[in-house]
Amino acid sequence: MPAKDIYHDAVKTALIKDGWTITQDPLSLRIGKKDLFIDLGAEKLLAAEKGLDKIAVEVKSFVGPSEIRDLENALGQFVLYENALSLIEPDRTLYLAIREAVYLDLFEAEIGKMLLERNIIKLVSFNPEQEVITRWIP
């Protein structure tokens, strides 16, 4: 099992504060003989629809020497996990969790806007000090 990201617990707490129930920590998926581990699986009851909203959340710190390299690695992981989820748990939506500061720096700039406008990635941003969700970008 892979090591937890440095913001793993902050995201977990933020999701709980936002009304989510953590159901898997980590969420494991098996494709053939290979195991994949997404940081968190969570569910939220939808009162109006009387159903469950299911998500998977991959936490990324973006603390490496190159934000672009961190973005490349996160995107590759996101694409792999999203495709695995579509086969195994198609009712679960994958989100990449990033700090609000990373969102402002990367995803309000051209490169991030391109990814969001083309629906390449879904994001949840959080404040690590307050342990709260600051935005959802489906």
Sort residue 32 into left (φ over 0), alpha (ψ -120 to 50) or beta. left
Domain map (residue ranges) of the chain: 8-137
pTM, whole model, 2 decimals? 0.94
Q: Give CA–CA dist 132/122, Å, rounded.
A: 18
Measured between alpha carbons, how far is 63 from 115 in angstroms, rounded to an integer? Answer: 20
CATH code assigned to 8-137: 3.40.1350.10
pLDDT tens-digit readout, 44-71: 987 665 678 999 999 999 999 999 999 9
Q: List, run by run, the mean pLDDT of 10-residue segments along the chain (138 residues).
A: 89 97 96 96 79 93 95 97 97 97 96 96 98 97
